[in-house]
Amino acid sequence: MPTYKLTYFNSRGAAEVSRLIFALVEQEYEDIRVERSEWEKLKPETPLGQLPILNVDGKVLPQSLAINRFLARTFNLYGENDWEKAEIDAVLEVVQDLFYPVRKMFYADTDELKARYKKEFVDVQGPKYCGFLEKLLKANNGGDGFFVGSKVSLADIVVFAAVGDALGDKSRDYYLDHKEPKLKALIERIRAIPQINTWLQTRPKTEL
């Protein structure tokens, strides 16, 4: 069995989907959390000067989405055939679309702009993209199972991380007080998976 080391900062951020996958499949790995003070020294030693990175038996992979897909393929969470993989990709792309306005809101220069983008997000883009997710979810088994096929996949984990977990308690204000009952129920189903729930209870507590 390969040895896995995941390096990121001490936050959920771009590493949490990978951590959730490791938790779900109960795969041992080293969860390395770099302090900002250590980062300047480590940065030039990383492939792109960015985190997260995944080290697998000495080989180093950058880019969180590549890492997530690699782990999903390795642990059989990336669909049963090419069509299912494409359906999973479609869900991942909706989440990427959802993240554009989220980033705009977080990186706004002034409090006034931040408030404006937050309102736009809560009123317009959040419901739009959560509506897309609800639609895709309902297209499979009426929305009472998972996004794709009959078992949990990368799609469910990514949506859980983005919509149910990314902003911590604030996630509820931003996304889930909307009208997407199936999406809301899926988030709670994923949260209730014992391995996921154990990770959520025991992981380091961080704001983001």
Ligand X SMILES: N[C@@H](CCC(=O)N[C@@H](CS)C(=O)NCC(=O)O)C(=O)O
Shortest Å distance, C-beta 174 to ligand X:
19
Smaller CB distance to ligand X: residue 36 or 205?
36
Interface pick for ligand X out of 3, 30, 43, 83 (rule CB under 6 A): 43
Size of the site for ligand X (CB under 6 A): 10
Shortest Å distance, C-beta 83 to ligand X:
26
Q: Could you tell me which stretch among 23-31, 49-57, 86-94, 146-154 binds ligand X (CB under 6 A)?
A: 49-57
In this structure, which amino acid lies at residue 30? E
Residue in this structure with the two tokens 């507590």, named with its chain if needed? 205
Smaller CB distance to ligand X: residue 63 or 171?
63
CA atoms within 13 A on the CB side of 114: 6
Site for ligand X in 96-155 (CB under 6 A): none
Shortest Å distance, C-beta 40 to ligand X:
8
Q: Does 206 bind ligand X (CB under 6 A)?
A: no
Smaller CB distance to ligand X: residue 68 or 153?
68
Interface pick for ligand X out of 50, 96, 197, 206 (rule CB under 6 A): 50
Smaller CB distance to ligand X: residue 103 or 151?
103
Smaller CB distance to ligand X: residue 70 or 84?
70
Residues in contact with 9: Cβ distance below 8 Å, sequence separation at least 6, in sequence order:
15, 33, 34, 36, 39, 51
Interface pick for ligand X out of 21, 51, 71, 88 (rule CB under 6 A): 51
Q: What does each C-alpha distance from 192 to 145, 185, 186, 200, 201 come to in angstroms? A: 14, 10, 10, 10, 11
Site for ligand X in 6-25 (CB under 6 A): 13-14
Site for ligand X in 52-91 (CB under 6 A): 52, 63-65
Q: Does 95 bind ligand X (CB under 6 A)?
A: no
Q: What is d(CA 152, CA 160) in angstroms, rounded to the nearest whole number?
A: 11
The site for ligand X (CB under 6 A) is made up of 13-14, 43, 49-52, 63-65
